[in-house]
Amino acid sequence: MKLTLRSVLPLLAGIAMMYSACTKTQNTVKPSSDDKKASDNVASSAIASNLAQSLAGAFGGASIKDGVTPSTNATSKIKVQSSDYRCGFYIDTSLNLTFNQGDTLKATKTGGVKYYFVCNDNKTIGYDSVDSLNTVGSGPGYSYVYNVVQKYKVRGLNFNNSNFSLDGPMKAYIDNEYPKYKTFSRVHNTYVFSNLYVHGDDNFDITSGTATFRSQGKTNGGGWDYSGTITFLGNHKAKLFFLNKTFLINMLTGESTPV
C-alpha cells in the first residue's frame, strides 16, 4: 500500500467530517419501521463516498493504487513465508498497531492479512489476498470505527503490470459520531467486484467492470437499506443504480449526481 497508519490518520480526520456515528460494527443499521427514510440523494452520496474511499484504501486494507504490490496499509508486522515476497505468502494474523499524535488523534488497528503472490518466470503478475482490519480512533470532537474486509484477486494485464484486473468481495463498515453536534453517520456497505480493469498510468482509473452492492445506513436525516449495481465507465466515473434510479459517481471525489 501507499498509505501507512501514520500517514492515514490526518486523512481520516478529514474523511470523518463527511460522516457521523461511531457504533460497534457488529450492530445492524437496518432502519426500523419507526425510522424515517433518508432521501435517495443522501443514500446515493453515502454509497458513492464509501465506494470511492474504500477502493482507495482510505479506511485501511488494500488500495487499487497499490497495483500488484503488497499493502503497507496493513502489513507493518508482516511475516515472510518465502525468500522472495513476490512469490509466495505474506501473512500476519495478529496485527495490532497503535498510533497517537499528541493528545488529539488516536487510533488502534487490529486484524489480520494474508497475501499469496502469483508469479510467472519469477516475476510478480498478481496476488490473492484476504484482509480483515478494524480501526478504532478519535480526534477533537469525533470518534470512528472502520471495519474493512477484502478478498481480492488481482492480476497484471501487461508487461509492467500498470494495467491490472480486480475481482472479489469487500465489506466497508464506516461509523462516525460527533457528540458535540449530536450528528452521526453509519454506512455499512458490501460489494462484489467483477472484472474491474484498472489503468494505473491514468491515476488508477477503473475503465470497465461491474459490481453488486448492498448498503445499510443511517444518519440524522434518516436510514436506508438498498441493493443495486455499479458499472464502471472510465474517466474516473461510475454509474450507480438502485430503486430504478441512476446516479453518476465521481471516483476521484466520491460525489454522486442524479442522472
Model pLDDT for residues 70-85, shown as the tens digit of each residue:
655 544 333 443 444 5
Q: Which band of pLDDT confidence, cut at 50, 70 and 90, is reported for residue 118?
A: confident
Q: For residue 16, what is the enclosing H or E element? A: helix 5-16
Question: Is 72 domain-assigned?
Answer: yes
pLDDT, position 226: 98
What residues have CB less than 8 Å from 33, skipping those under 6 apart?
A: none
- pLDDT beyond 70 at 209: yes
- What average pLDDT does the chain have? 83
Domain hosting 148: range is 40-258
- pLDDT beyond 80 at 110: yes
**Average pLDDT of span 53-76:** 79
Question: Is 16 domain-assigned?
Answer: no
Distance CA 249, CA 94 (A): 36
- Write out pLDDT tens, residues 125-178: 899 999 999 999 999 999 999 999 999 999 999 988 999 999 999 999 999 999
Question: Is 20 domain-assigned?
Answer: no
Distance CA 190, CA 212 (A): 8
pLDDT, position 85: 52
Decide if 125 contacts 138 (C-beta within 8 A).
no
Q: Can you give the pTM of this predicted structure?
A: 0.81
Question: Is 10 domain-assigned?
Answer: no
- pLDDT beyond 50 at 246: yes
Number of domains observed in the structure of the chain: 1
pLDDT, position 2: 39
Question: Is 11 domain-assigned?
Answer: no
Q: Find the radius of gyration of the CA atoms of the chain.
A: 18
Question: Is 219 domain-assigned?
Answer: yes
**Average pLDDT of span 218-246:** 97
Q: Which band of pLDDT confidence, cut at 50, 70 and 90, is reported for residue 235?
A: very high
> Who has greater pLDDT, 197 or 22?
197
- pLDDT beyond 50 at 6: no
- Write out pLDDT tens, residues 13-52: 444 443 333 333 334 444 443 468 999 999 999 999 999 9
pLDDT, position 71: 59
- pLDDT beyond 60 at 215: yes
- pLDDT beyond 60 at 4: no
Question: Is 9 domain-assigned?
Answer: no
Residue with cell 450528528: 183
pLDDT, position 86: 57
Closest CA to 196 of 242, 245, 157: 157
pLDDT, position 201: 94
DSSP 32: P
